[in-house]
């Protein structure tokens, strides 16, 4: 995969919160500021587990009807195909049911399987369950809901573009997530995010320090703000 980042760059991305990464991406003007992140429908299940960084593998699922005859083979194919994606990996699943989340794909068993397959996290517009067991594994989860049952859950398609939380994800996309949500990092600027973070933080630090200083004034704030913008 040509766009794979070095381990050093991946480790660097884990140092930053997802909002900080979002601010850095904005400085490159590679997409609208309203794009590139999942909606607040997709919430972080384990804020205490910290940040998730990895390359996406994708699938769609359904849980409303009985599993078709080829479902077991498709599950095995998912295990094989995800290994074509660089690690660390993030499994992104679009639940096709209406409403989504009737049956949870993610529970203790699937989480153990995908943790062994070098997944750092799971992202779905559907549901998850077995939260205590999954937290103990250290697998970060982002989901639309929490459920009791897996119902008839089964994969429908694998390795296809999916839409989760209003964001289209393709196999190999680089994702960053934490307690605030999930965003995609464009590959063309991924190795320069750290540089942009430093620049954004430096400007923000000046504003914060001025606001916390005993010599604060509204006039001074306006002057500093205009200087930083110019």
Residue 88's CB: how many other CB atoms inside 10 A?
A: 17
| Mean pLDDT score of the chain | 95
Residues 157 and 216 in one domain: no
The predicted pLDDT at position 15 comes to 97
Residues 44 and 116 in one domain: yes
In the predicted model, what is the mean pLDDT of residues 42-55? 97
Number of domains in the chain: 2
1 has a pLDDT exceeding 70: no
* CATH number, domain with residue 42: 3.50.30.40
Model confidence band, residue 2 (pLDDT cutoffs 50, 70, 90) = very low
Residues 205 and 132 in one domain: no
Q: How many CA atoms lie within 13 A of 212 on its CB side?
A: 6
Decide if 11 is inside a domain: yes
The predicted pLDDT at position 130 comes to 98
Domain hosting residue 211, numbered range: 194-229
In the predicted model, what is the mean pLDDT of residues 209-228? 94
The predicted pLDDT at position 3 comes to 65
Decide if 126 is inside a domain: yes
Which residues share a beta bridge with 206?
none
Distance in angstroms (rounded) separating the CA atoms of residues 95 and 126 = 5
Tens of pLDDT along 83-112? 999 999 999 999 999 999 999 999 999 999
* 132 or 68, higher pLDDT: 132
Q: Whole-prediction pTM value?
A: 0.94
230 has a pLDDT exceeding 80: no
């Amino acid at each position: 995969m040509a766009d794979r980042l070095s381990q050093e760059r991946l480790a660097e991305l884990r140092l930053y919160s997802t909002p900080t990464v979002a601010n850095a991406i904005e400085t490159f003007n590679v997409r609208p500021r309203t794009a590139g992140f999942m909606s607040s429908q997709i919430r972080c299940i384990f804020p205490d587990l910290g940040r998730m960084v990895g390359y996406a593998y994708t699938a769609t699922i359904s849980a409303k009807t009985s599993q078709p005859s080829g479902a077991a083979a498709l599950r095995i194919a998912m295990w094989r195909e995800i290994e074509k994606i660089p690690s660390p990996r993030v499994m992104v699943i679009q639940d096709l049911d209406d409403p989504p989340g009737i049956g949870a794909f993610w529970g203790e068993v699937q989480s153990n399987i995908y943790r062994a397959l070098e997944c750092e996290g799971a992202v779905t517009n559907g549901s998850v369950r077995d939260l205590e067991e999954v937290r103990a594994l250290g697998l970060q989860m982002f989901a639309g809901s929490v459920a009791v049952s897996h119902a008839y859950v089964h994969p429908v398609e694998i390795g296809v573009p999916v839409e989760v939380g209003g964001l289209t994800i393709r196999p190999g996309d680089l994702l960053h997530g934490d307690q605030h949500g999930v965003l995609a990092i464009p590959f063309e600027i991924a190795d320069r995010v750290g540089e942009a973070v430093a620049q954004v933080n430096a400007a923000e630090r000046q504003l914060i320090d001025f606001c916390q200083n005993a010599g604060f004034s509204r006039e001074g704030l306006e002057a500093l703000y205009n200087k930083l913008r110019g």
